[in-house]
Every structure is written in structure tokens, then in C-alpha cells.
Amino acid sequence: MAALLLLALGGFEAARADEGTAGVTDVLVLAEDMRRSGAPGNCHELLMSIDGMVGDGQLSDYLYLRGFCAELAWDSAGAAPDYEEVITRGRGHVDEARFRLALVLEDLGDGHGALQQMAILHKNEGWDLNDQVGVNLERALAQIAAGRVKRGVQNLEAALVVAESWNKQSWLRAKAHYVLLDQELAAAERASALKGGDRGQGQAVTARVQALAAAQEAMLPLVAIQEPEWILHGLYRLGSAYVAFGDELVAARVPARLSDAEAAIYRAEVAKQRESLRDKAAHVYDQGIQLSLRLQFESPLLARLVLERDRINASRQANGGG
């Protein structure tokens, strides 16, 4: 069975004349070369140029490749209908399309739809090791996206053990590490809101500091896999957690036991802590920006990293900082 994440379109070169024009076949082969070489946007534009010209015998190949190129160009909404049509046609690439449809539905916020696709794939038999590892990882990720967090995390951690012992599916492994990092931070943020009495606030601050330290440690295996997309996601999430924590510190109630003079000192110290956390966030954002530039990796997340870093730097300058 063909590997789900490595589309083999060599069959296009041997396409029979009655399955489509030679020109269409040439375009499909060229588009696949573009996809493999890292030019998904050009790949998609090229494929759109023959839209309506593809014969029935090549249509599933065409739709699957067009969806794949749209997905790699960060257009999940554009990819989903092509994958759905491939599945409906049932003429080739059905399992691969179902897998990739789960990925894009998850990206679009439809965790339940993604899980439906993976439930079907998970029942299939005859996967090779690489495919089985990918199915297990994505099924667990879809469970988390669908709100089945406890079971999904358990399945994801188990799938990661197998994936990393065999060194399979680096992109999905990196995504899995990011999702686990995000889940840990989200759980800490929910459980340790800086509200309540003095003792409760103190405990919440300690819990949040520990969660941020754990998140920094969780970045290490993510970085080690060397998948820039998920490194950027991890850095953005960590930076956002620093900023949110600092804002909550400033907004939290001043301990009731403090006098007016002590309260003023307390507020000044908390303001310094927030600036320190924002400095950390700006540094983390800048790491992501520099990584993108160094690798020439294009991602919509780059603009958000730049925006948040510049927003922090502008605030620092407005307040007389360096």
C-alpha cells in the first residue's frame, strides 16, 4: 500500500492515451515535481490552468494532487473539497485522501469530522509500518481536536513511543509534541487562574511558573525533530503564554493584607515581572522569526510572530525602555 504522506505519481508518466491528453499528463507530472521540490503555490496554479480539461481516467489523480498542493500552500479550505471528491469517486487515492482530509478538517477546527475519517482508516488492515504509525498518530490528534482529550493524550503518547522508536513520521511527531505542549499549558491556564484569596493566588502563580518551565523543556524534543512548522507553533504558543501570565499578574487583586504603601510597591514589582515576561516572549518570537528567515520557510505564522514581537518592542519604547 502506498505511503499516505509520500504520494507516488509515477503512473502519470505511463498514462494510457485514452485516459487523457498527453498535455494533461505532462502537466500532472510537472505539478508533482513542483510539489516535491517545495513550490506548492506554483503547483496549484499550474493545476488550475488545466481545470476542466482532465479526463475521467485521470481525474482522481488530478483532484488529489490539487488538494495536496492547496494544503501545502496553507489553503486547507481549498483542499478539503478536492479530497472529499476523491473519496466520493472511489477511483484511486481514497485512503490517502481520507487521511489528508482529516488533517485539513482538524486545521479548520472540525475535530469531529477529522475523527470520523480516522475512525474509518483505523479499521483498515494491511498498512505498512510507516502508514500504521501515521494513522495512529493522527487518530489520537483527531481525538484531542474532537474534545476527547484524556483518551487522545493517552493514545498520542503511546503512538509517539512507537513512532520515535522507529524514527517514523517526523512531521506528525513534531505536531504531536506541539499538541502535548499546548495541552499542558492550556490545562495549567485553566487550573491556575489568578483569582481568589491570597493563598490561592500564590498557589496559582507557582503552578503557572512550573507549567512555563515544563513548556520550555517540552520545546526541546520538538526542536530536535527539526520540523520548522511545528517549531514556530511551539514558540508562538510559549510566547503567548508568557504574555498572558504577565497580564494576569498585573490584573490580579492586590493581597488584602498589604498597606497602601506596600500595595504600591507590590504593583511596581508586578509590573516589572510582567515586563520581564514580555521580554522573554519577544525573545521567543524573535527566535521563530530568525528560524524562518534562515531556512527561508514561509508560513502564515511568521506574520503573527513579527506582529507580536514588534508590539512588545513598541510598548517597551513607549514606556521608556531600551
How much is the pLDDT for 286? 97
Q: What does the DSSP assignment read for 265-300? A: HHHHHHHHHHHHHHHHHHHHHHHHHHHHHHHT---H
- Give the H or E element holding residue 164: helix 149-165
For each of the chain's 322 residues, which pLDDT tens digit applies?
Answer: 334 433 333 333 333 334 445 588 888 999 888 888 877 778 888 898 898 899 899 999 999 999 999 999 999 999 999 999 999 999 999 999 999 999 999 999 999 999 999 999 988 877 888 999 999 999 999 999 999 999 999 999 999 999 999 998 999 999 999 999 999 999 888 876 666 556 677 788 888 899 999 999 999 999 999 999 999 999 999 999 999 999 999 988 888 888 999 999 999 999 999 999 999 999 999 999 999 999 999 899 999 999 999 999 998 888 766 5
Cα radius of gyration (the chain): 24
130 in Cβ contact with 3 (< 8 Å): yes
> What pTM was computed for the model?
0.88
Every domain of the chain and the residues it spans:
186-322
Nearest to 278 by CA among 241, 317, 304: 241
Reading the block at residue 215, the C-alpha cell is 513548556
d(CA 140, CA 188): 21
110: left (phi > 0), else alpha (psi -120 to 50), else beta? beta
Hey, what long-range contacts does 90-95 have (CB within 8 A, 24 or more apart)?
Answer: 91/59, 91/60, 92/60, 92/61, 92/64, 93/7, 93/60, 93/61, 93/64, 95/1, 95/4, 95/121, 95/124
Classify 71 as helix, strand or coil: helix
55 in Cβ contact with 21 (< 8 Å): yes
